[in-house]
Structure 1
Amino acid sequence: MPLRQRAEQPRPRARRRAWRPDRRVLTALSLALIILITVVDILSPSEIHLGPLLIVAPALTASFAGARATAGVALLALGALTFIGTVRDGLTSANIETQLGAQVVVSALIVGLRVLRDRHERELAQVRSVSEAAQRVLLRPLPERIGPLHLASVYLAAEAEAQVGGDLYAAARTATGTRLLVGDVRGKGLSSLGDAALLLGAFRAAAHLHANLPDLAAYLDGSVCWDLAQLAEQSQQARLARPSLRPGVHEAPDEGGESFITAVLLDIPDDGSPVRLIDCGHPPPLLLRPEGITTIVARHPAPPLGLGELTPVEYEVETFPFRPGDRLLIYTDGVIEARDAQRRFYPLTDRVTDWQAERPAALLQRLRRDLLAHVGGRLDDDAAMVVVERLP
């Protein structure tokens, strides 16, 4: 089996933490502004009017507090403007009446906008809770201990408000060991969630039924091909049911039949026998050992799942030793294709070199923080990583 060794050890980049002021400090600042503007306005000459500046206080409060707090500060600002008018010219003057009317209108507008924002934040919180529930059902957390293996996983969704997307992983126990699946659906975010759910369901149902890995891979490929064929048929029927377009107007091509899933399947025996692997167009795993990091490159990689109907596939099993204390890092292309501001790819192997002695969970946390720092906090594609360690 061809193997590659890499030994460079660059220093990991430190991640900057954004400073966020405390809400109590900002609230105190809003109240201080009201007091300051009131005092300065009263002490200023009669031709200088600073009362309209009081609207700054509720506007500032709306940026960090809810509608109730914003309304409270707006009432205080309105009361301060009334006090200024009483002390200086009286409430019956045209100047004060105009200032009070404008203050009421602008304050009502600020509070109304804050109410809409609060409603949007509540809806967003509900969406996040549903997304988290979907993640727990669809992408179940890998057990920390399964047989003689120690597992850890991390998932980073590209969609801003999503917790899951097109990357997937799952583990299943068999009579002789543990089977592991890590995959990546073409596309990203919620649009690829259906294909991920299909493959995970098929793997969990069939992982313990097929005696050898090629049969399992063929079953998974057949399941994906069947589902894609159903989707293509439904899409074709929907196009035929739609009224024809005007001459010269072309319909956008349907990409539903072009979907596929890259995946890596592993069979890890409990007795310490070599690990069996089938790579279906997926990035090669990394084998972490004290003496160095080895990239497990398949000699005969199979095409991605979902393309089996296009060409006959003969799945060939690769094997490699996996001794006690060894760690295996399996990842999706969202990790190695992540780019920084200078469009440089994330150097996964180089980063892992510095932290390969860490326990699986700690290693993934370091990689997660470093990956997000590399891309500036936002990924362009879903990313998943799984670490498997064989215990003594």
Structure 2
Amino acid sequence: MGLTHRHHRRALTPPERRSSGPQWCDLPAATGALQATHLQEQRRRHRELARVRSVSEATRRVVLRPLPHRLGPLRVASLYMAAEGEAQIGGDLYAAARVEDSTRMIIGDVRGKGLTSISDASVLMGAFREAAHGSSASRTPDTFAFEDGDTLLLSTDGVIETRAPDGSFYPLAQRAGQWRSSGPEGLPHHLRRDLLDHVGGRLGDDAAMVVIQHSPALHPVQQLKKMVPVNGAHR
């Protein structure tokens, strides 16, 4: 019987080529992932800033309360403006005390931001109140005429050092003169709106204002006359 020999041929495939060059990925997908991560981080940061600012603001409201509208013969109005875009409240402060026949007042700004500055402001106001109700100082204070109808405006550096986008400072004296007839209650609100317009809507530093007007209280008889109806109307 004859033998047959078959040659089995197996196709040989060349080894896979391994590229030593850079590996490419789907750029749109990678860019979208990075944007999503950045957006999540931005939202997280905004929530954290809002939380910290809320705590600072609540603390400030406890420490820095609005001044009384009337202190002896004085009508008083106070206003605090927080800087925009910051998580921490500044150390602007004001306080007042009525002692016998005089009124004592303080306004200022401590260094720093956040709870530390609020704590420092609280200590300073506490020392002021203690000194105001203590014995009179031996030094004679500087005096100036403050007659009926006169208005005194006090402010921190956050007002006078505020700059417009073109670099110009806020002209406080000029602007305040425009609304001097608005009374203690109206003047700070006019200045607040005008100050924000000057800087383009965002303050770079905290600001505080106190307006004081010498306006003696009406005599009880005068008050009674204002309440007596005349022809069905009140005077």
TM-score range, shorter chain: 0.5 to 0.7
User: What's the secondary structure of 2:190's corresponding residue?
Assistant: helix
Q: CA deviation at 1:126?
A: 1.9
What letter matches 2:113 in structure 1? Answer: G
User: What's the secondary structure of 1:184's corresponding residue?
Assistant: strand
User: What's the secondary structure of 1:171's corresponding residue?
Assistant: strand
Q: CA deviation at 1:355?
A: 0.6
Q: How does 1:102-141 map to 2 (within 5 A)?
A: 114-141=39-66
State how far apart, in whole Å, the 2-side matches of 1:369 and 1:105 are: 46
1:391 is aligned to: 215
State how far apart, in whole Å, the 1-side matches of 2:101 and 2:42 are: 55
2:154 to 322, 330, 334: 330
2:180 is aligned to: 356
1:219-251 CA-partner distances (Å, limit 9, x unpaired): xxxxxxxxxxxxxxxxxxxxxxxxxxxxxxxxx
Q: Is the 8 A contact 1:158 1:188 kept in 2?
A: no
1:94-125 CA-partner distances (Å, limit 9, x unpaired): xxxxxxx9998877766665554443333233
State how far apart, in whole Å, the 2-side matches of 1:339 and 1:316 are: 37
What letter matches 2:49 in structure 1? Answer: L
Structure 1 alignment gaps of length 5 or more: 1-100, 216-314
State how far apart, in whole Å, the 2-side matches of 1:382 and 1:182 are: 13
Q: How does 1:87-102 map to 2 (within 5 A)?
A: none
- Inter-CA distance 123–380: structure 2 relative to 1 (3 Å threshold): closer
What letter matches 2:169 in structure 1? Answer: F
Q: How does 1:148-187 map to 2 (within 5 A)?
A: 148-158=73-83, 160-162=85-87, 164-185=89-110, 187=111
What is the RMSD of the two structures over their aligned residues, measured on CA atoms?
Answer: 3.0
2:227 is aligned to: none
Q: CA deviation at 1:333?
A: 2.6
State how far apart, in whole Å, the 2-side matches of 1:344 and 1:155 are: 22
What letter matches 1:321 in structure 2? Answer: A
Q: Between Structure 1 and Structure 2, how many residues are aligned?
A: 190
2:192 to 349, 368, 381: 368
1:23 is aligned to: none
State how far apart, in whole Å, the 2-side matches of 1:183 and 1:119 are: 34
- Inter-CA distance 207–165: structure 2 relative to 1 (3 Å threshold): same
Q: CA deviation at 1:330?
A: 0.8
Tell whether 2:180 aligns with 1:343.
Answer: no
Q: How does 1:210-225 map to 2 (within 5 A)?
A: 210=135, 212=136, 214=137
Which moved further from structure 2: 104-113 or 127-136? 104-113
- Inter-CA distance 109–362: structure 2 relative to 1 (3 Å threshold): same
What letter matches 2:124 in structure 1? Answer: L
State how far apart, in whole Å, the 2-side matches of 1:382 and 1:132 are: 12
User: What's the secondary structure of 1:319's corresponding residue?
Assistant: coil
User: What's the secondary structure of 1:359's corresponding residue?
Assistant: helix
- Inter-CA distance 104–158: structure 2 relative to 1 (3 Å threshold): closer
Bigger helix share: 1
Q: How does 1:1-392 map to 2 (within 5 A)?
A: 114-158=39-83, 160-162=85-87, 164-185=89-110, 187-190=111-114, 192-210=117-135, 212=136, 214=137, 315-392=139-216
State how far apart, in whole Å, the 2-side matches of 1:115 and 1:170 are: 43
1:34-79 CA-partner distances (Å, limit 9, x unpaired): xxxxxxxxxxxxxxxxxxxxxxxxxxxxxxxxxxxxxxxxxxxxxx
1:329-349 CA-partner distances (Å, limit 9, x unpaired): 111233222222333222111
What letter matches 1:322 in structure 2? Answer: F
Q: Is the 8 A contact 1:189 1:382 kept in 2?
A: no
State how far apart, in whole Å, the 2-side matches of 1:350 and 1:195 are: 33
TM-score (norm 1): 0.42
- Inter-CA distance 340–112: structure 2 relative to 1 (3 Å threshold): closer
Q: Is the 8 A contact 2:50 2:87 kept in 1?
A: no
Q: Is the 8 A contact 2:83 2:206 kept in 1?
A: yes
What letter matches 2:165 in structure 1? Answer: A
1:91 is aligned to: none
